[in-house]
Amino acid sequence: MTKANSMEKIKSKIEKLLRLSLSDSPHEATNAAQRAIELMEKYNISREDIDKHPIIFKEIEINYARVPGWVRTLYRNIASINGCYMVWKDGIKGEISKSFVRKAKIILIGMKSDIENIDYYVNILIKRIKEKAKEFKKTCNFTDRQMMKSYRMGLVEGCYKLLLKASQTFNENIKNNALVMVDERCARAEKFYKQNHVVRTVATDFVKCICYLRGIEDGSSFSVNRPINEQDTNPLALELKTSENERIKRG
């Protein structure tokens, strides 16, 4: 094995440990973060070295004409934690039939390993959010759609805070060890996208009600502690398309 190949294997191991450092299990997250830091110090590898990978686009086609607010926010939140940029394109529904003319898409921009990490967490969290919302609806006998939207948004906010805390803990460990302190992957991915595409943003107001607050509380107690090699099938995804440096056709 050449020295270059050996170093790539070490970098790959560090990447996996960085992903595990976001676990909601304090013990597992701490051990993974510490082990990653030890390897980075031993081989004089910075976070910048780990991040030197080409940026790619990944389109996730979902079974909606318009991307639901909670799904959009979930992807955006998890993407930001993992150093990626996220945009979406709404689809078109047929006027006569209920069939789709074009389905909505979530578009992730970033390094391949980071996008895979987003898939891992989003796949788990989408299932948990749907299950929890179903339980909440039965328990509280709510039929109002706005109430349920608020609760789902609360769940998204709660689990985001959970994962963000784990991410911040790891970043603090990096600072204490005098390694690279600033993660510029988000800015790099966003810049890459904006150089090639017109960005469309949508402002959405969410009801700040008891359902939203209850959702935050419930979402903060989610468990996403599962082996990194156990991949779930995204219940929203119908087709995954990955391409390097490929322009996204404007819909």
DSSP 194-244: HTTS-----------SHHHHHHHHHHTT------TT-PPPPSSEEEEEEEE
Residues in the chain, pLDDT under 50: 176-182, 198-208, 226-251
Q: 214 with 161: CB under 8 angstroms?
A: no
Residue 142 CA, distance from chain mean position: 29
Q: What is the pTM assigned to this prediction?
A: 0.65
CA 100, CA 146: separation in Å to the nearest integer? 25
User: Which pLDDT score, from 0 to 100, does residue 108 have?
Assistant: 93
User: Which pLDDT score, from 0 to 100, does residue 208 have?
Assistant: 44
Specify the amino acid at residue 219: G
Which tokens is 216 given?
A: 């935050």
Q: Which DSSP category does 251 fall into? A: -
User: Nearest-CA neighbor of 83 among 104, 112, 105?
Assistant: 112
Element containing residue 179 per DSSP (H, E): none
Residue boundaries of the structural domains of the chain: 53-244
User: Which pLDDT score, from 0 to 100, does residue 19 have?
Assistant: 72
User: Which pLDDT score, from 0 to 100, does residue 246 have?
Assistant: 38
User: Which pLDDT score, from 0 to 100, does residue 82 have?
Assistant: 84
Specify the amino acid at residue 180: V
3-state secondary structure labels for all residues of 10-41:
HHHHHHHHHHHCCCCCHHHHHHHHHHHHHHHH
User: Which pLDDT score, from 0 to 100, does residue 245 have?
Assistant: 37
Q: 71 with 62: CB under 8 angstroms?
A: yes
CA 58, CA 119: separation in Å to the nearest integer? 10
Longest Cα–Cα distance of the chain, Å, equals 64
